[in-house]
Amino acid sequence: MSLFGLHRRLRAAIVGHLALFEMSSSIPNRRYANALRRLGFDNPRATRFFDEHVTADAVHENVAAIDLAGGLVRQDPALVAEVLFGARALVEIDARWAAHVLAAWDEDRSSLAAAATIREAMA
Ligand SMILES: [Fe+2]
């Protein structure tokens, strides 16, 4: 996302990245809020952000898909491949992140780089 945002030539890619993020974030936000409640943080101060984004991102989904990505591609149809590239990049990065976290859990270790670095320094 940062790479796309830092280079104007990649503007269509960041549009695709953001559009897909907004189109797919309502359900994860619901899960984050429910997970907090399940872990004993049933307090609006902990869950409000995620609960609010369940509804907000349902609206953002349409804005991102139709107005943002759709609007850009209607203005410049040549950018469609780059919009899709940005969306695909989000899917790939998310998949890599999830695989990393799940592997760490399977191995009963932290998925955080800082924890690994500290452990290596102490060995
Ligand atoms: Fe959103």
> Ligand 1 mean position to 17 CA, how many Å?
12
pTM of the full predicted structure?
0.81
Could you tell me the distance, in angstroms and rounded to a whole number, from the CA of residue 117 to the centre of ligand 1?
33
Q: State yes or no: pLDDT of 25 exceeds 70.
A: yes
Mean per-residue pLDDT over the chain, rounded: 92
**Dist. CA 111 → ligand 1 center (Å):** 26
pLDDT for 75 equals 97
Model confidence over 43-102: pLDDT tens digits?
Answer: 999 999 999 999 999 899 999 999 999 999 999 999 999 999 999 999 999 999 999 999
Ligand 1 centroid – CA 118 distance (Å): 35
The 3 state secondary structure assigned to the chain is CHHHHHCHHHHHHHHHHHHHHHHCCHHHHHHHHHHHHHCCCCCHHHHHHHHHHHHHHHHHHHHHHHHHHHHHHHHCHHHHHHHHHHHHHHHHHHHHHHHHHHHHHHCCCCCCHHHHHHHHHHC
pLDDT (0 to 100) of residue 120: 72
CA 23 to centroid of ligand 1, rounded, Å: 8
CA of 39 to the centre of ligand 1 (A): 25
- Check residue 118 and give its pLDDT: 63
